[in-house]
Amino acid sequence: MTQTATTGEHLPESERQPGWAGWCAHFERRAGRPLPDLAGLGEEVPPAWRAALVWSLARFQLGESHGSGVVSEIHACSLRSIDDHYRAALALFVEEEHRHGEILARIIDALGGRRLTRTWTDDLFRLGRNLLGVRLKMLVLLVAEVIGDAFYSSLAGPLPDGKLRNALEEIIADERHHLQFHCQFLRGEIRNAFALTLLRLLWWPLAGLANAVVLYDHRKTLRTANRSRFTLVRNVLRLVREVDRRLAARSERGAQDPHRRRHPVPPLTARS
């Protein structure tokens, strides 16, 4: 599978870099999309795959359903990259994440699975996020986007054309935009070379730890779907390197200034 994030008029990134108002417009346009049609989904998924797919998607569904606490914290926070447009954009981002959770919940229901209310990996993620300041919480959210993108891409690749693959690819396309959104915020918070170095030194171990957890926790699903763990590692490493490059790129006077542009960064791409 080859998936490329679009850079058309609805994507507030790449060379145009219009700031948080553009992201608000982007999320608002996408908010009205109908949920994917999943009628008859169970008939297109091989019976041997169902239990493993449900097991993994239920865990990701739980993670996609959180995020409201971050919105409340950002509303009470004052940082140079945060303004009212960013607060509104972040709330819309969380709504889009909840939409992903609803899509995954409907997939689980269609496959005869059970939704979860708690997992040890979700507890670990939330604990790590709650122990950190706002900037590092956003870094943890970025890690989650990378892992979700890479895992969904690994699953979608071997699936036959149909409703499940289409639903996962829709989520993957959204995750591309989310990666750009969080990178733009973090770039705007980088004040000097020391801050950039510290951020990058945190980024790689956090992403590596999350990758190791997912490799262990979802090994049966990857095996059932005929995807080697190397495929997931390759997907994660590609996205981790891409994020690292975006964080190291010189920001256009931060996220809130749409007028000065120095080194535009091309859109993220993914291949399974």
Domain ranges of the chain: 17-34+41-120+128-253
Residue 28 has pLDDT above 70, yes or no: yes
For 151-182, the pLDDT digits (tens) are 999 888 877 788 999 999 999 999 999 999 99
pLDDT tier at 254, thresholds 50, 70, 90:
very low
Find tokens 């553009």 and name the residue.
22
For 210-222, the pLDDT digits (tens) are 999 999 999 998 8
pLDDT of residue 132: 62
Spatial neighbors of 222 by CB under 8 A, at least 6 apart, are 154, 215, 228, 229, 231, 232
Separation of alpha carbons 41 and 234, rounded Å:
29
CATH fold of the domain at 17-34+41-120+128-253: Ferritin (1.20.1260)
